[in-house]
Structure 1
Amino acid sequence: MNQYVIIARDGTDEQAIDRRMAARPTHLEGVKNLKDNNQYISGGAILDDSGKMIGSVMILQFETDQEMQAWYNSDSYITQNVWQTIEIKSFRVANV
């Protein structure tokens, strides 16, 4: 399995939190699907100093880069323009 860390920042415009909240149920349903298929390792929201969600970190795994790209192309945080700055890196979870 190829593992990836996704570090994504939401937009900073006034509608950013509204976009996130609108896309969130679909995004979380997708995360459930990833978990059911052993593709979700960990993840959560990045918070600002006041506790407001401003981004996400996810650790995912896929058999191929093409599977990862298919997830990327369909995730609601991508398709609904929630995440504005996205960094995806190859990753290896430490087995300790």
Structure 2
Amino acid sequence: MKQYLVTGYDYTDDGALQRRMDVRPHHLDGVRVLKENGNYVEGGAILNDEGNMIGSVMIMQFETEEALEAWKQNEPYITQKVWESVDVKPFKVAVVG
């Protein structure tokens, strides 16, 4: 599977944090399915100096580019306007033995 580093940066409007918190349960439900399917490797929230969530980083893996695009089309943080921009880069998890 091809691995990717996905970085999502939240909108910065006044309602951005509340929108994130409202959508978060749906995002996490999707992450659970991704993990069960072997697509989710690791992830978490980017925090500002006050400790508020302002973005996300996820290490994902998919068999095809089409599968990656299908995930993006259905990701609640994208469809519900939590992430203003999403950066996807090829990635390789280091295996340290």
Normalised TM-score (structure 1): 0.98
Q: Which residue of 2 aligns with 1:37?
A: 37
CA-CA distance at 1:27 after TM superposition: 0.3
Q: Which amino acid aligns with 1:94?
A: A
CA RMSD across the alignment = 0.6
Runs (5+) with no aligned partner, structure 2:
none
**Structure 1: runs of 5 or more not aligned:** none
Q: How does 1:1-96 map to 2 (within 5 A)?
A: 1-96=1-96
- Over 3 Å off, 4+ runs: none
**Overall identity of the aligned pairs, in %:** 53
Give SS of 1:14's match: coil
Counterpart secondary structure, 2:19? helix
Alpha-carbon offset, residue 8 of structure 1: 1.0
Q: Partners of 2:75 and 2:86 in 1: how far apart?
A: 13
TM superposition shift of 1:22: 1.2
- Shift, 1:34, TM fit: 0.4
CA distance in 1, matches of 2:79, 2:8: 13
Count of residue pairs the alignment pairs up:
96
SS at match of 2:86: strand
Distance 2:71 2:22 in 1: 19
